[in-house]
Structure formats: structure tokens, C-alpha cells
Amino acid sequence: MQVSKREYGAEQPYWPAGPFKIRLPFIHYRWETPEMIQGLVMFVVGLAMIPLLEKYLGMPYEAALAFTFVAGIGYILPALLGVPLVPGWITPAIPVVLLYLKGFEPGPEAIKALFALQLEVTFIFLFLGVTRLGSKLVDVIPNSLKSGIIIGAGIAAMMGELKVGGRIDATPISLIVGSLISAYVLFSLSFKSVVDANPLAKKIANFGMVPGMILAMIVGWVVGEYPLPEIEWGITQPDFALMFQYLTFTVGFPGWDVFLLAIPTAVIAYVIAFGDIIVGFTLVKRVEDIREDEKIEDSVDRVHLVTALRNGIHAFLAPWPGLAGPLWTAAHATVAERYAMGRKAMDSIYSGGGTFWMTGLVALFILPLVTLFKPVLPIALSLTLVLTAYICIMVGMEQLKNSVERGVAGIVAVTLAMPDPKSTVYAVAIGLVLYFLIERPKLLGRHNPEDEVIFADGEEEASAAKAAQQAKQAKETASVD
């Protein structure tokens, strides 16, 4: 239960704080048990960043574990400050970030490089949020380019798992089983019909990705794809003192040359994150049409400000190869699906996301859970990437209105998914060129945006009109006879 109650059709209660809207559990929204259980399992995805911190920044496990607690603080900020999206990393950008870090020696040099990159990402989000240009980009950027970026990010995430030497080679059985079960529970039309008639199926649906992840872990242990855990008891003790030895305050700040080298990667990361914002609010819009009892504010500018705050915290206190992204696609889809079941299932979109990550932060201190999941961290990351791929492709395709947009978006998506650190820059450039050359009825000068749809669908409309005319003539001939 919560202290403040929401009237039907109104916005969830909050405390105003400048551009933010503060919401606390038990005061402004209720505690959701299914999301709490999910948080006790899904927090392991955050721990999956530890191997990358050890490899690319050259830090020991204890210091990397302390970094995950800083990340945990960042995860709770969006729901706390009025953002209805479940946050995560800029996941599809991770391969690009790692390619950038390979140019620096693990240790102080790599830490400086990652600090420079994350600080630039902070400034991009902050500038677009303060100037409110971020919300305008949603309307200014061509639909084909936005959808192409979303679809391309999904393809890139999937290809990272399927490539030779990827996790599908090392752990095929557990990854395939976990992916199929998770996809069936989250997206299957047949399972949705079972949920309506079966109470047990409805309970399973409440836990989203958890059944698939748990089953994948069990299968991985049974078939020997992952080692059995060595469970320890007590409270997790990250070494925060050691952590400070791997921050810029200790190793020093980067030079201007490093900041210049980081600019392309920072721009790429933002473009992908922008696609995540579109995906997130598209999922919110779909369920908001079902739930008329709550008005959800889709403030893109607030998302930019909160994401800037999170990246700034990371830059100075825990440089993070995954960066701080506005959306954890798979987790957000899970929350959105349960939210669509009605107010009894989930009171508010904020109660779902808020409960999920607050539980995840607490779970980081539970040593038995941390040691239980430690051997299977890769499967948690893999399932997240696979489900992210499906959702990105689904939402991206859904936004395309006609065949011309689909063609341009397809080219953008394929270009973006290429294994090249500059592929995102190429994709954006190609998408803009194709938009002006192919989609616009007038190459130069002003034009009516509605003409684009008419022009693009002209051939289809002509065919439909011709068919209607033929049917009319056949009817007249039949009546004469």
C-alpha cells in the first residue's frame, strides 16, 4: 500500500522538484511483489559487467564489485525522478566502446579514456535535455532513420551472440533453451491465451524473464556449460577504498587528445541511446492505450537529464563500459506486459520499475545470491541481448508506415549492424541521404509531410483504385445481364 492514492485517469502522485518528479515507494506508489522477485534474480545482469571491468580497465574483482554498487544507485534514479522507463546500459554500443578501449593499455590509460568518453556522453545528454532539443529530435529525425537505427541495434545485438566465437558457440544449449522460454512467456500469442484461462500460467507471466533465465542457468549447470557455484554466506563486502585507486582522482585526468579520440564513440552511443528512448516510449504508449486509469507523462527532456546525471556519476565514481542508458529493453518490456494486465496486477508503471531496481540494489548486498549467480553471469547478459534484439526489431518495424520507409530503414539497419566501429556514423549519413533523395516528394524547398505518405503509397493506392473500378464494372455488367 502507499500513502498517496491516484485518482482514475490522473498522473501518479509525486513531489515536484524542478524538472523532476520525485516518487518514493510506499509513499507515492505501492511495492510490487513480482517485480521484487524479478529484481532478486535479474540484478545479476549488472554483475555481468565485472569481467569487462577486469579485462579492459585492469581492476581486481573487489574493486569492480564496488563499481556495480555505484551503478545500482544510478539504476534507481529514473523511477525516483519521474521517468517511466526501466533503465540499463546502452547495450548495443558495448562492442563499439570495447573497440575504443582496445586502443589503450588496461589500467590508468584505459580508465582515463573511459572517463573522457562517459563525460562526453554526459554533456550530450545534458545539453539536449537543458535546451529541450532532445524532445524536438523525436519529431525532426525522419521516421525511416529512427526505425532503421532501432532495427539495426537489434540486429547488431543478435549477431553478437550468433557470431563465430560468440556465446552461442560456448553455451548453445542453455542459451537456446533460455531464449525460447523467455520469448514464449513474454511474447507468445498462444501463451497469452493460456494466461487468460490458467491461474498458474498467469503467475508465471508475472515474472517475465525470470523463468527463462532460471531454467537456462539450471540447464547450463546440468549439461556442464557452466561450473557449479561455491555459495558463501554473509553480506557482500565490496572494496570501496580499493575502488578509488581506479578513478580519475587517483590516476589523473585525460588530455585533450583523448577527449578528441572519444568524440565519435560518444556520438555513436547517443544515437543508439536515442533509439532506446523511442523504443521505451513506444512500449509505454502501447500499454497506456490499454490502461486508461493512469496518465503517463512521456517527457523526453527529463529522460535526457536523468541519463546525463547517471553518466556523470559513473564518469567520476565508476567508469562503466556499458555506459548509462535510458532503457533496459527486455526488463522494460516485462514490466510493460504486466502493467497491461490491469491495476490489480500493477498499480503504476513507476511502481513496477521502482520496485524492480530498488530490490536489485539490495540484492547486491546479499552474498549468497551474488556467489550463486557468479558462474552464470554470461547467460544473463546473453538473454538480455537476445530479447533486446527481438523487441528492437518488432518495435522498429511497427513504426514504418509504407514501403518507401521500410526500404530506407532496411538499408540503415543493415549498415548499422556492420562490424565496423564507424558503422553508426555511416548508417546515419546514408539514412539522411536516402530520406532526401527517395522519401521527399520535393527534393528542395518546403513540402507537406502528408504528401510523403500519399506519394509513397501511390502505387498501392492506384492498384486499389483500379481493383475497385474493375469490381464496379463487373457489377454493372452483371446487372445488365
Q: What does the pLDDT look like over 143-176, one tens digit per residue?
A: 888 888 878 878 887 887 777 776 777 788 988 8
CA distance 139 to 234: 51
pLDDT in tens, 425-437: 788 888 889 988 8
Stronger pLDDT, 422 or 440, i.e. the higher one? 440
pLDDT tier at 470, thresholds 50, 70, 90: low
Give the range among 107-121, 131-145, 207-221 with minimum mean pLDDT: 131-145
Residue 342 has pLDDT above 50, yes or no: yes
Q: Is the pLDDT of residue 82 over 90?
A: yes
Contact 144, 427 (CB under 8 A): no
Residue 454 confidence (pLDDT) above 80: no
Per-residue confidence (pLDDT) for residue 326, from 0 to 100: 93
* pLDDT score at 452: 52
Query: How high is the pLDDT of residue 356?
Result: 92
pLDDT surpasses 70 at 349:
yes
* DSSP H helical ranges for 57-171: 61-81, 94-101, 108-130, 133-140, 143-162, 167-170
The Cα 247–Cα 318 span in angstroms is 7
> 91 near 325, Cβ under 8 Å?
yes
Q: CB–CB of 254/112 below 8 Å?
A: yes
The answer to whether residue 140 scores a pLDDT higher than 90 is no
C-alpha cell at 161: 551472440
Q: What are the DSSP calls for 362-417, one per residue?
A: HHTTBHHHHHHHGGGHHHHHHHHHHHHHHHHHHHHHHH--SHHHHHHHHHHHHHHT
pLDDT higher for 196 or 232?
Answer: 232
What pLDDT is attached to residue 472? 53
Q: What is the pLDDT of residues 107-131, one digit of tens each?
A: 999 999 999 999 999 999 999 999 9
Statement: residue 461 has pLDDT above 50: no
Task: Please determine, for residue 62, whether its predicted confidence score (pLDDT) is greater than 50.
Answer: yes
Name the average pLDDT for the chain: 84
Q: How confident is the model at residue 444 (pLDDT cuts 50, 70, 90)?
A: low
Phi-psi region of 447 (alpha: psi -120 to 50; beta: other; left: phi over 0): beta
pLDDT of 468 reads 53
Give the chain's end-to-end CA distance (angstroms, integer).
74
Q: What residues does 235 pair with on adjacent strands?
A: 366
Q: Taking residues 361-369, what's their average pLDDT?
A: 91
Q: Where are the domains of the chain?
A: 15-145+236-377
Tell me what pLDDT residue 465 has.
45
Query: Residue 170: its pLDDT value, please?
Result: 78
* 8 A C-beta contact, residue 458 and residue 161: no
Mean pLDDT score, 439-450: 65
In this model, does residue 47 exceed pLDDT 60?
Answer: yes
The CA distance from 184 to 212, in Å, is 9
Cα gap 481→467, rounded to integer Å: 21
Categorize the per-residue pLDDT at 443 as very low, low, confident or very high, splitting at 50, 70 and 90. low
Query: 85 near 332, Cβ under 8 Å?
Result: yes
H/E run at residue 11: strand 10-11
The string of pLDDT tens digits covering residues 10-43 is 899 999 999 999 999 999 999 998 889 888 888 8
- 92 DSSP 8-state letter: G
pLDDT at 240 over 70: yes
Measured distance CA(435)–CA(104) in Å, rounded: 38
Is the pLDDT assigned to residue 46 strictly greater than 70? Answer: yes
Q: What is the pLDDT of residue 48?
A: 82
More confident residue, 455 or 56: 56
Largest CA distance in the chain: 95
Distance from C-alpha of 130 to C-alpha of 140, rounded to nearest angstrom: 18
pLDDT > 90: what percent of the chain?
31
Q: 121 near 323, Cβ under 8 Å? A: yes
How far is Cα 69 from Cα 103, in angstroms, rounded to an integer?
27
Whether the predicted pLDDT of 481 surpasses 50:
no
Q: How far is CA 337 from CA 178, 272, 439, in A?
A: 19, 23, 34
